[in-house]
Amino acid sequence: MLLFGGCGSSGNPDVYHVGTHEWVGDSILVRVYRTSNPAENPSLPDINVDCRSCNLTNSPQNLAFNSSGAARIYIPETREQISARLHLHGSGIDTTFIQKQRPPGEATRYFHLREPLVGRVFVDQFSLLYFDTTKDSVVANANVGDELNVYAGGSSFYRVHHPNFTQPLYLLKADAIRLR
Q: Do 111 and 75 share a structural domain?
A: no
Residue 56 has what pLDDT? 76
Range of the domain at 165: 104-178
What pLDDT score does 75 carry?
93
Choose the final residue of a domain: 81, 100, 119. Answer: 100
> Burial letters for 48-79: b for 16+ Cβ neighbours within 10 Å, e otherwise?
ebbbebbeeeeeeeebebeeebbbebebeebb
Q: What span, in angstroms and rounded, lies between the C-alpha atoms of 149 and 104?
A: 6
Among candidate residues 50, 82, 100, the one where a domain is terminated: 100
Which of 10-14, 74-78, 126-130, 136-140 comes out lowest in average pLDDT?
10-14
Contact of 83 with 99, CB cutoff 8 Å: yes
Q: Are residues 134 and 158 in the same domain?
A: yes
Of the residues 67, 100, 133, the one at which a domain ends? 100
- pLDDT category at 73 given cuts 50, 70, 90 is very high
Greater model confidence, 69 or 160: 160
8 belongs to a structural domain = no
For residue 141, tell me if it sits in a domain. Answer: yes
pLDDT at 4 over 50: no
1 in a structural domain: no
* Dihedral sign (CA 171, 120, 94, 28): positive
